[in-house]
Amino acid sequence: MDRERIIIVKNLVKKFGDFTANDNLNFEVYKGEIFGFLGANGAGKTTAMKILCGLSKPTSGEVDIAGFDIYRDTDKIRHIIGYMSQRFSLYEDLTVYENIRFFAGIYGIRGKEFRAKAEKLIAKLNMEDVAKTLVASIPLGWKQKLAFSIAMFHEPPIVFLDEPTSGVDPRTRRQFWEMIYQAAESGVTVFITTHYMDEAEYCDRVSIMDQGRIAALDTPKMLKENAGAKNMNDVFLKLVRPQKAEL
């Protein structure tokens, strides 16, 4: 397959004192795919993602995002990425509408353009009734969708989702994945970390992280074939060293 590479990571190392969080990572992400980082807590998923987003500086190694170097072109990268953290990054004491307005504003979307887009978004989310409600009082699932939509509001070609589904019930999770598929279909590259095995199945390609290293990287189908496993859970248990397997 000869597809356009949008993220290229070479020899990425991140150390916190003596602890090595990312030990020589090498991988590439293709344009328009859903790329998953699967691993236990502390496996180094979030650390790697933070480096890609420019929230953390690597100890050594090279990272290229859409042709921009993360050391030099930080400012340019910021314009082309969206980010959603596991804590949703919403202001609880602001209304739904005010949250959208604030985050749109920091990406420079305002005035007529903003109003048109915001109206469309609120309609799409079916949140007309709660637009003026404080985020604190809407259900978790709605917050999640809202956070994702806000991360996508400035139409970034790449979006980073850091465990976006933790603590959400299975039905809401499925709805959420539909939004991710929609985004991917429109050409957005989705980089997602998760510790849910079933979610890994939804990704185009999955990298399994263990103790700061990439233990395996392939499509879910190939991963299962290579490991001779029925599902991702078995793949994971086989690849990851026993003492680290508890989830």
**How many amino acids of this chain bind other proteins (CB under 8 A)?**
34
Phi and psi dihedrals of 180, rounded to 5? -65, -45
Radius of gyration of the chain (CA): 18
Among 11, 26, 41, 105, binds other proteins (CB under 8 A): 105
Inter-helix orientation angle 140-151/170-185, to 10°? 10
**Residue 71 in the binding site for other proteins (CB under 8 A):** no
Find the binder of other proteins among 21, 38, 48, 81 (CB under 8 A): 81
Selected from 88, 153, 177, 236, the binder of other proteins by CB under 8 A is: 88
Q: Does 91 bind other proteins (CB under 8 A)?
A: yes
Residue 244 as a binder of other proteins (CB under 8 A): the answer is: no
Told to check if 93 binds other proteins by CB under 8 A, we report: yes
Contact call for residue 50 and other proteins (CB under 8 A): yes
Q: Least distance in Å: CB of 226 to other proteins? A: 35
Tokens standing for residue 160: 């980073």
Residue 37 or 103: the one with the smaller Cβ distance to other proteins is 103
The Cα 106–Cα 67 span in angstroms is 24
Residues 90, 143: contact at Cβ < 8 Å? Answer: yes
CB 224 within 8 A of CB 70: no
Closest CA to 83 of 106, 61, 115, 67: 106
Q: Which is nearer to other proteins, 179 or 229 (CB)?
A: 179
- Beta carbon nearer to other proteins, 91 or 181: 91
